[in-house]
Chains A and B, each alone.
Chain A
Amino acid sequence: MKTQYRNILLFTGIFLAGILLFFLNVLLGSVSIPAGDVFNIFFGGDVEKASWATIIIDSRLPMALTAVLAGSALSVSGLLMQTLFRNPLAGPSVLGVSSGASLGVAMVTLLAGGVLSEMLLINNVSIIIAAFAGAGGVIFVLLFLAPRVGNNIVLLIIGLMIGYAVSSIVNVLQFFSSDHDLQAYILWGLGSFSKVGWQNMVYFSGIVIAGLVAAILLMKPLNMILLGDNYAFNLGLNMRKARLLVISVAGILAAIVTAFCGPIAFIGIAVPHIVRNLFKSNNHRVICPAVILCGGVFALLVSLLSRLPGSMGALPVNAISSLIGAPIVVWVIFRNRNREVA
């Protein structure tokens, strides 16, 4: 079949682009290190400066790896939610998962000196635990409500409302917190691929890869869900069970990334759209693996662009992902409109 060759070609092309971007991510940064030295660092040659090996191995490499995993996880999370809610604008932030994570982080960063900080350590680990707990709390509420509300749109609206409510609590916390604590919270909110590092890579990659495998196992139910609850039921799908599974996987993927990298916007919404347009398919047997691949590549591009501007360190990942992601979403919507008119 013609489409099959096209898909294989696309997969290969995107994969190669990903490899190239990965190398560029390792090669380029605020400290310029000659390509020859980078090669030597990996293949055991002499390096001009010892610190360069540290920069490559301990900073750029885990950062690029984090970007790939985070991009894939967010994109798959977005795909799952768009399919489940049959809404092109659904994404990890929509269900309130990101807001939940934000609340968790706000609790530990902004309530420092309060009751909570007596119990929690204010450092990297506590921020991750808090973000995960906050996101998990929202997922838990959604899972509790999902079997009790008849349809996905109601659930979507509940998710949005949870998001708004939680954001308001964060606003109140911000209002009452000191400049210093506020800065710590804002710092987290800017998003960064650099905080995972090797020390957390096992947990991060473990959970992300488990989530991605779960998403692959959900490809068939996802296709059925596309047709709506009734048709899915008619094709033999237990919607309640499927919905719980899809929300759990999407939620955990969004939660783990938000916990480690901060709330990174638009990758989750934009990548599934790019993939559907590129592969001209909505068959999850094709687009689910494609979204995993494209998500990683897209995040590598975001990571690279955020560090390009020169010597002044990285721009916030969240800003770059929004700057690239938002126009893509607009473009997709316009494209779809035009096709309907024609």
Chain B
Amino acid sequence: MRKQNTDNSRIPILGAYHLSVGYTQSNTKSEVQKNLKLKMFTGELVCLLGPNGAGKSTLLRTLSGIQPSIKGDIKVAGKNLDDYSIQELAKVVSTVLTDQVFVDHMRVYDLVAMGRYPYTGYFGRLSVLDHEIIDEAIALAGIEPLKERFLDQLSDGERQKVMIARALAQETPFIILDEPMAFLDFPSKLELMQILRNLASEHNKAILMTTHDLSLSIQSADWIWLIGHDQRIRRGVPEDLVLKGDFADFFKKDDISFDMHTGEFRIENATEKRISVRGGGLNGSWVRKALMRKGYTITNAAKGKEKIYVANKPELEVTVKLKDKEVTVNSVKDLLLMLEKEQ
């Protein structure tokens, strides 16, 4: 992929002011989000997070020109979105949508090749250069082995990557993805995030995506935009949002809490049980995780005062002090059983 403006990497790709998005149906406007102020530069990966129904997809569809905004200006690559012709816009913004593409007898290569349509002539004939760009896009998306496969022979993850390759073949500075990681298994999510991160960092693309995966977003995004039902947007570098408590605020619900240390949400258990644990290392950390899941609040204890001791050995060896005796077990399962029996 030809690198775009690597020497001057911070070019504003998106600016929106007083933007209202939503739907207009027979003269009644329903605003889903209003008064949004958005800014994005090339080379940035932005994750848009928020609960279902907050208008994430509506916002993306508006920014990519599929549906009109209700109010406000959108500037894409320095020009008003409304001033673009459909053909011009196709060279600036590419999208990967949640729309399912099920086409019989369509080869992966042919689909990716359609990314070149904004540049080809009347009959869509591809030049040698076009074929090179298609091959590069396929390589970047990591789908070379799938090139000659038919679309209906692919898994969801593979198909998602094909759609990303198609967007890459479109050679736009701005790529918008709606829930690209939905339906993917965990390794595929990681791989996909890796590809997107790489596209932003190494190829200077501006990438805006929605996702529900908070921890992956915190790990990979340059910016996180949080939108909620309160029609307020919070924007920030992930770590700032964590430390300012924005996440904890934002997703606050009675039985869910945000763990600032791990950057993960946890289900809060109602009962308060305290337990003292001594011993560290890998084994200690996993034993603590298991106890937390079972609703214990863990305290550290000095030697001899502990309820549970995890020996510092490669193999798991846990000693539990019961009322009358000490028992040593070799698996977390046995430990949890033991504690359950004691109660």
* A118 is an interface residue with CB less than 8 A from chain B: no
User: Are B170 and A233 in contact, CB atoms less than 8 angstroms apart?
Assistant: no
Q: Give A234 to B95 CA distance when docked, in angstroms.
A: 7
A4–B115 Cα distance when bound, in Å, is 21
CB–CB B95/A231 < 8 A: yes
Tell me whether A282 and B101 are in contact (CB under 8 A): no
Question: Does any Cβ of A come within 8 Å of B320's Cβ?
Answer: no
Known: A285-B123, A339-B152. A227 touches B101 (CB 8 A): yes
Stretch binding the partner chain, chosen from A58-66, A166-174, A235-243: A235-243
- When the two chains form their complex, are residues B120 and A220 in contact, meaning their CB atoms are under 8 A apart? yes
B105 touches A280 (CB 8 A): yes
CA distance A279 to B87 in the complex (A): 30
Do A238 and B86 touch across chains, with their CB atoms under 8 A apart?
A: yes
Measured in the bound complex, the distance between the Cα atoms of B104 and A226 in whole Å is 10
Known A231-B97, A283-B110: A220·B117 in contact at CB below 8 Å = yes
A227 to B112, alpha carbons, bound, how many Å?
11
Encoded as 1 (CB less than 8 Å from any A CB) or 0, chain B from 119 to 157 comes to 010111000000000000000000000000010100000
Interface string of A272-312 (1 = CB under 8 A from B): 00001101111101000000000000000000000000000
Q: Find residues 262-294 in chain B having any chain A CB closer than 8 Å to their own CB.
A: none
A54 within 8 Å of B (CB atoms): no
In the bound complex, residues from chain A placing their C-beta under 8 Å from that of B95 are 230-231, 234
Q: Which of A230-268 contact B (CB under 8 A)?
A: 230-231, 233-238
Is B117 within 8 A of A235, CB to CB? yes
- Tell whether, in the assembled complex, residue A281 and residue B105 are in contact, meaning their CB atoms are under 8 Å apart: yes
Q: Which of B64, B123, B150 contacts A234 (CB 8 A)?
A: B64
Contact B101 A235 (CB under 8 A): no
Give, as a whole number of angstroms, the nearest-CB distance from B126 to chain A: 10
User: Which A residues are CB-close (under 8 A) to B101?
Assistant: 227-228, 231
* Selected contact of B66 from candidates A88, A233, A336, CB within 8 Å: A233
- Assuming the contacts A233-B66, A234-B95, asked whether A336 and B104 have C-beta atoms less than 8 A apart, the reply is yes
Please determine whether A235 and B90 come into contact, CB atoms closer than 8 angstroms: yes
Q: Does A24 contact B (CB under 8 A)?
A: no
Whether B114 contacts A224 by the Cβ 8 Å rule is yes
Is B94 engaged at the interface, CB distance under 8 Å to the other chain? yes
Q: How far is the CA of A230 from the CA of B177 in the complex (A)?
A: 13
Q: A227's closest neighbor in chain B, by CB? A: B101
Task: Return chain B residues, CB-CB under 8 Å to A336.
Answer: 104
Whether B321 sits at the interface, judged by CB under 8 Å, is no
Q: Return the chain B residue nearest A233 by Cβ.
A: B66
**Does B106 count as interface, using CB distance less than 8 angstroms?**
yes
Let me know if A116 is at the binding interface, CB within 8 A. no
Residues of B within 8 A of A219 (CB): 123-124
Q: How distant is the Cα of A224 from the Cα of B120 in the complex, in angstroms? A: 13
Residues B114 and A235 in contact, CB atoms below 8 Å apart: yes
Q: Return A328 CB to nearest CB of chain B, in Å.
A: 15
Q: Is the CB of B123 within 8 A of A282?
A: no
Smallest CB separation, B334 vs chain A (Å): 44
Question: Which B residues between 71 and 96 are near A, CB-CB below 8 angstroms?
Answer: 86-87, 89-91, 93-95
A220 to chain B, nearest CB (A): 4
The 6 closest A-B pairs by CB, nearest first: A236-B90, A220-B124, A236-B87, A236-B118, A282-B105, A235-B117
B interface residues with partner A (beta carbon < 8 Å): 61, 64-66, 86-87, 89-91, 93-95, 97, 99, 101, 103-107, 110-111, 114-115, 117-118, 120, 122-124, 150, 152, 170
